[in-house]
Amino acid sequence: MSKNVYSTIEFDARRSAQTGIQMKKFLKVFFRIVFSRTMIIFLSILVQTSILISSFIWLGRYTTFVFSAMTAAGVAVLIYLINKEDLPEFKIAWVIPICTLPVFGTIIFLFVDKNMGSRGLKKEMNKVIEESAQYVSQEESVLQEIMDSDSQAGRLAAYLSNAGYPAYRSGTNTYFPLGEDKWKDMLEELERAEKFIFLEYFIVERGVMWDSILEILKRKVKSGVEVRFMYDGMCSLLLLPYNYPAKMEKFGIRTKAFAPIVPMLSTHQNNRDHRKILVIDGRVAYTGGVNLADEYINKRERFGHWKDVAVKITGDAVDSFTMMFLRTWDILEKPSDYKAYLNRCVCKDVNGYVIPYGDGPNRKENLAEKVYMDILNTAREYVHIMTPYFIVDSSFLMMLKFAAQRGVDVKLILPHIPDKKYAFAIARSYYPSLLAAGVQVYEYTPGFVHAKVFTSDDCKAVVGTINLDYRSLYHHFECGAYFYKNAVVADVEADFQATLQKCMRIEDGYYEALPVGGRLLGRICNLIAPLM
């Protein structure tokens, strides 16, 4: 047999083998998708939707009766809605579907408004907070010092203290202007852990960042350090396997998924855990916008350069972050021994004041929004803001514009490359109104801004997880740190000024020159923004 024949046979064999390998890979991916949790959830929702549509078709036989009954129900719901204590924006967002689609709109509203899953979650959180309140105390002398320095700042501190978030004399804090800066520092602090490590994050995705952290956690567990890891259950939909907690438990890492996505129609899944908290030994705590995924440290590019920030807090203020973590954990498991983790590390070198605080849908008042509003209302010289989203209610918008109208230098930095086009379209729809009031708007041209910071008058700053949108301000569990007369304030402001140099300023006429489709999208989405 000739060499050419042998070569042809060998080539055909190799090609067949490669085809077989490719087919095996294809089948592996195919079956992984078909039998994945995401597919099961999708099919379950599809079945439920089909049943709902079939029910409507069946009821169609009794059109006159059903239409009359639902019209009466719609009128009753509208009366209830108008008299309900809620934002006008939420009311308008519901009035539109109820009036245009009386049957469907009324049913959806009643489902969302009366959903027991969401109410149960809120009730359980309030129960945990009430039972653990004995472990939170305010040192009255600290409040008095702030009051003596500035009565307006003192009243805000008192308000937060009454809500369960004490003011502390601040220890040494570190501000990180980029996610990669936080990542490097947190790896060093994790290596120093001796007692416990608590992690609570909205997004966790396997990659360079999470793998490097997990490697340390595994070693620390073996050396006797207690590790608790909690992530939002939305990750189970796309980023992590549904059985990931069980996998972590095998390493000795106690793991919980907060409100994992399940194949059922329940609006409690709208209340996500958007917090980013890391507490180590009760001596240091981290918060800010940085999640545990590679785009946050620019190891993976998604929307240009990812601008994010974080802060490390030391001293007795760490106890507040420990409390926030344990309270959320206790919704998912039996009560923790709070005393074992609250150290009250007294600050040796006092550096101003800090008030760590949390917020969530379990509270009747929107505490996080009130903190932002207080900064706007009391500003004398400037208020500088970085936020990835700008979808706000009329009250907040009025306060922001009024601050500029009374002579305060108000600057707002938003992304130039968005992660969500509809949110970006809504934010841009505010541009003409903001510019007319004197608010200076900038877009970060290198990419996406994910930072959530306020700074004002060289004496106040907020670094946290709270976006300027309805989801953060009304639906999610959030956290932040309010700094007063603290060295961190200067660091936040310096970072703002440095970021400003990489931005383009939005001028009059910019919005009008945008494509009609984008402007129309923003206007339409604005009608239902509170529900998105």
Do 163 and 219 have their domain in common? yes
**Strands annotated E in 204-288:** 226-232, 254-258, 277-280, 284-288
**Residue written as tokens 């595994």?**
218
> Once rounded to an integer, what is the mean pLDDT over residues 405-426?
95
Do 157 and 91 have their domain in common? no
Which of 265, 256, 225 is closest to 117 using CA atoms?
265
Q: How confident is the model at residue 34 (pLDDT cuts 50, 70, 90)?
A: very low
Write out pLDDT tens, residues 58-70: 666 666 666 677 6
**Residue written as tokens 């923003």?**
522
SS (H, E, C) 147-165: HHHCHHHHHHHHHHHHCCC
> What pLDDT was estimated at residue 322?
96
Which of 455, 360, 345, 462 is closest to 410 using CA atoms?
455
Asked whether residue 472 is assigned to any structural domain, the reply reads no
**Is pLDDT larger for residue 26 or for residue 450?**
450
Quote the percentage of the chain above a pLDDT of 70.
83
Asked whether residue 404 is assigned to any structural domain, the reply reads no
Domain that holds residue 61: 37-114
Asked whether residue 419 is assigned to any structural domain, the reply reads no
Q: What angle do CA 49, 55, 59 make, to 5 degrees?
A: 150
Asked whether residue 401 is assigned to any structural domain, the reply reads no
Burial-class residue 490 by CB neighbours within 10 Å (0-12, 13-18, 19+). middle
> Once rounded to an integer, what is the mean pLDDT over residues 229-241?
86
Alpha carbon distance 245, 206 (integer Å)? 14
Looking at 301, 334, 356, the residue that finishes a domain is 356
**Is pLDDT larger for residue 366 or for residue 83?**
366
Do 218 and 343 have their domain in common? yes
Do 47 and 100 have their domain in common? yes
> What pLDDT was estimated at residue 186?
98
Write out pLDDT tens, residues 347-389: 666 789 999 999 998 887 889 999 999 999 999 999 999 999 9
> What pLDDT was estimated at residue 270?
72
Residue 318 sits in a domain of what CATH number?
A: 3.30.870.10
CB 233 within 8 A of CB 257: yes
Residue 269 pLDDT exceeds 70? no
Asked whether residue 132 is assigned to any structural domain, the reply reads yes
Do 198 and 313 have their domain in common? yes
Provide the domain count of the chain.
2
Asked whether residue 157 is assigned to any structural domain, the reply reads yes
Asked whether residue 343 is assigned to any structural domain, the reply reads yes
Write out pLDDT tens, residues 417-439: 999 899 999 999 999 999 999 99
Alpha carbon distance 77, 485 (integer Å)? 49
Token pair, residue 156, equals 């805000």
Do 84 and 180 have their domain in common? no
